[in-house]
Amino acid sequence: MITISKMNLDDLNQIKNILFSDFDDFWNYSIFKSELENSNSYYLIAKDNSKIIGFGGIKVSIPDADIMNIVVRKNYRKHGIGSFLMRELINFASSLGVKNLFLEVNEKNSYAISLYQKFNFKEISIRKNYYNENNAIIMKKEI
Ligand SMILES: CC(C)(COP(=O)(O)OP(=O)(O)OC[C@H]1O[C@@H](n2cnc3c(N)ncnc32)[C@H](O)[C@@H]1OP(=O)(O)O)[C@@H](O)C(=O)NCCC(=O)NCCS
């Protein structure tokens, strides 16, 4: 059964050594840890029974929040887990009083862009060469 819950440091320690291999997240452990300890950050994890199969987080400054990342374990992708996490992040943000959700995505990351478009995020600006030679697309959704 797939469940969603709040992420804590024990959860992060469970996936510490497989962050790159199994999730290909671009954050290293220490940056992630300090994010988790930030009182304005909220992370959710998806579990298949006890196995962590995805995570996503927001950083809140009411009435705004940024989606910091959303990552699904490689062999669990394309099964709706990213959408499940996104739905829960949006509901969670809304429960905190967030009105505007922002995110930034590499223009070449078409899977992530499709996920965001599915949830009606709209492009509001471009940051040129933000990821070296690639642009960043800034997207927004009012909730
Ligand atoms: C982006 C990511 C989180 C999507 O997770 P996922 O569990 O595969 O997403 P879902 O199965 O819920 O798919 C959501 C939508 O994304 C699109 N999509 C995702 N993977 C796709 C693929 N391989 N091919 C085509 N479309 C894809 C589809 O539009 C899909 O909508 P649908 O359900 O109507 O088909 C996942 O690919 C991932 O972890 N990528 C690496 C990390 C990353 O780049 N994160 C974003 C920046 S932090």
State pLDDT tens for residues 103-129: 999 999 999 999 999 999 999 999 999
Cβ(31)–Cβ(68) under 8 Å?
Answer: no
pLDDT the model gives residue 46: 98
- Residue 110 near ligand 1, beta carbon < 6 Å: no
Contacts with 19 (C-beta within 8 Å, 6 or more apart), sequence order: 25, 27, 28, 29, 32
| Nearest ligand 1 atom, CA 72 | 39
CATH of the domain at 76: 3.40.630.30
Reply yes or no on whether the pLDDT at 25 is more than 70. no
Q: Is 19 left (phi over 0), alpha (psi -120 to 50) or beta?
A: alpha
pTM: 0.96
Residue 140 banded pLDDT, cuts 50, 70, 90: very high
Cβ(67)–Cβ(82) under 8 Å?
Answer: no
pLDDT the model gives residue 76: 97
| Residue percentage of the chain with pLDDT more than 70 | 99
Tokens of 134: 């690639």
Residue to mutate (ligand 1; options 2, 110, 111, 121; most atoms within 8 A of CB): 111
Q: Residue type for 99, please?
A: K
Say how many domains are in the chain.
1
Measuring CA to CA, which residue among 111, 112, 106, 143 is closest to residue 128?
Answer: 106
- How distant, in Å, are the alpha carbons of 65, 106, 128 from that of 125? 17, 12, 10
Q: Which of 104, 107, 130, 131 is catalytic?
A: 104
pLDDT the model gives residue 28: 86
Range of the domain at 102: 2-142
